């Protein structure tokens, strides 16, 4: 992890250095390059958000059991856990759903 952290720090320094290479030494009012430098992090953040939304768009096992979709729950848990832990995890989530459904909590209980 330390190596990866160091690699990303050095990569950021290289990217910042490359972005700064195209600035002129004496600023000119017609220079529009600064807009790209400010938009570059927004482009990276937007692409990161799209990747997260595309690859991590799963519902939780709790949701599947609440909606009575045991096939979806079993598929999701089998994707996330080893095969020997699938049944025990589903049983645990079922117990949590039953426990949650027995509790009567309202919005005033949050305060």
Query: Which pLDDT score, from 0 to 100, does residue 106 have?
Result: 74
Which residues 6+ apart lie within 8 Å of 21 measured at CB? none
**Same structural domain, 31 and 7:** yes
**Same structural domain, 25 and 69:** no
Distance between CA atoms of 6 and 14, rounded to whole angstroms?
12
For range 40-52, the mean pLDDT? 90
Asked whether residue 110 is assigned to any structural domain, the reply reads no
**Same structural domain, 42 and 8:** yes
pTM to 2 decimals?
0.50
**Same structural domain, 72 and 95:** yes
**Same structural domain, 8 and 48:** yes
Helix (H, G, I), strand (E, B) or coil at 7: helix
Query: Which pLDDT score, from 0 to 100, does residue 34 have?
Result: 81
**Same structural domain, 9 and 50:** yes
Per-residue pLDDT at 105 exceeds 80:
no
With the C-alpha atoms ordered 52, 56, 62, 64, is the resulting torsion angle positive or negative? positive
**Same structural domain, 88 and 66:** yes
Q: How confident is the model at residue 74 (pLDDT cuts 50, 70, 90)?
A: very high
Write out the residue range of the structural domain in which residue 91 sits.
61-103
Distance between CA atoms of 75 and 86, rounded to whole angstroms?
9
Distance between CA atoms of 3 and 9, rounded to whole angstroms?
10
**Same structural domain, 67 and 48:** no
C-alpha to C-alpha distances, 106 to 28, 40, 49, 78, 110, nearest whole angstrom: 61, 45, 33, 34, 8
């Amino acid at each position: 992890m330390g190596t990866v952290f160091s690699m990303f720090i050095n990569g950021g320094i290289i990217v910042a250095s490359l972005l700064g290479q195209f600035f002129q030494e004496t600023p000119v009012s017609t220079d529009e390059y600064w807009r790209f430098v400010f938009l570059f992090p927004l482009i990276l953040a937007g692409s990161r958000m799209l990747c997260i939304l595309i690859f991590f768009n799963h519902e939780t096992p709790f949701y599947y059991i609440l909606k009575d979709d045991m096939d979806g729950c079993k598929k999701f848990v089998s994707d996330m856990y080893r095969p020997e832990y699938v049944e025990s995890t589903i049983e645990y989530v079922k117990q949590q759903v039953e426990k949650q459904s027995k509790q009567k909590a309202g919005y005033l209980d949050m305060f």
